[in-house]
Structure formats: structure tokens, C-alpha cells
Amino acid sequence: GENVEQHPSTLSVQEGDSAVIKCTYSDSASNYFPWYKQELGKGPQLIIDIRSNVGEKKDQRIAVTLNKTAKHFSLHITETQPEDSAVYFCAASTGRKYIFGTGTRLKVLA
């Protein structure tokens, strides 16, 4: 069945450093790739997304890249801050079903 693998499961970085989270998907029909941030006790919130006709997208300190041939996409957070600490989920969607990765717990150390 459809599957999204996400790595690493935990990531600790020093404040100001960059963080990179990687995902791989299996369904070649996927054409939409959102990233969600989940803080403790809350629901996931969209932070950035990318569609299959785009290779890279940037929004301030956050960027996402997509390699459709390799079925890889990545989240890059630069100049990390303590408030970036949370669990991050990638997802791949065909427009019908959204399959989520297993999550990355990011800790930004002050």
C-alpha cells in the first residue's frame, strides 16, 4: 500500500543551526506534499507545502525541496529558534488520501 517514510525520528540542533528532515513516498500518483508542525497537546498545523510541478519553495526560514524522480522531499529550517521545537510531519497526497510520515521530534537547544 501507500507509504511515506520520514527520517530522522528525533533531531537535536543548537539554536541558530539548520535542521533538515527527509521523506520518501511510494505512490507515484502523489502530487501534493505538505509539511505540518504539531506542538504538544495540539493539532497539526500546515507550515509549508509544495506541488509536483515545483522543485523548491521557500517561506522565510523554511524551505521544501521535491525530487519527483527519486520520490524524495525535504524540509529545511534555517536559523533555528527554540520555538521551532515540535514534532514535524510530512505527507503525500493524491488529492484523495493524505498519507503521513511517522514524524520527527525536533529539539532546538538554546
Cβ closest to other proteins, residue 47 vs residue 77? 47
Does residue number 27 form part of the binding site for other proteins (CB under 8 A)? no
Does residue number 98 form part of the binding site for other proteins (CB under 8 A)? yes
x/- map, 42-81, other proteins, by CB under 8 A: xxxxx--x-x------------------------------
Please give the helix or strand (H or E) that residue 56 lies within, else none. strand 56-59
Amino acid, res. 20: V
For residue 11, the minimal CB distance to other proteins (Å) is 15
DSSP 51-102: ETT-SEEEETTEEEEEETTTTEEEEEE-S--GGG-EEEEEEEE-SS-EEE--
Amino acid, res. 19: A
For residue 79, the minimal CB distance to other proteins (Å) is 25
Q: How many CB atoms within 10 Å of residue 28?
A: 10
Which residues form the interface with other proteins (CB under 8 A)?
6, 31-32, 34, 36, 42-46, 49, 51, 89, 93-103
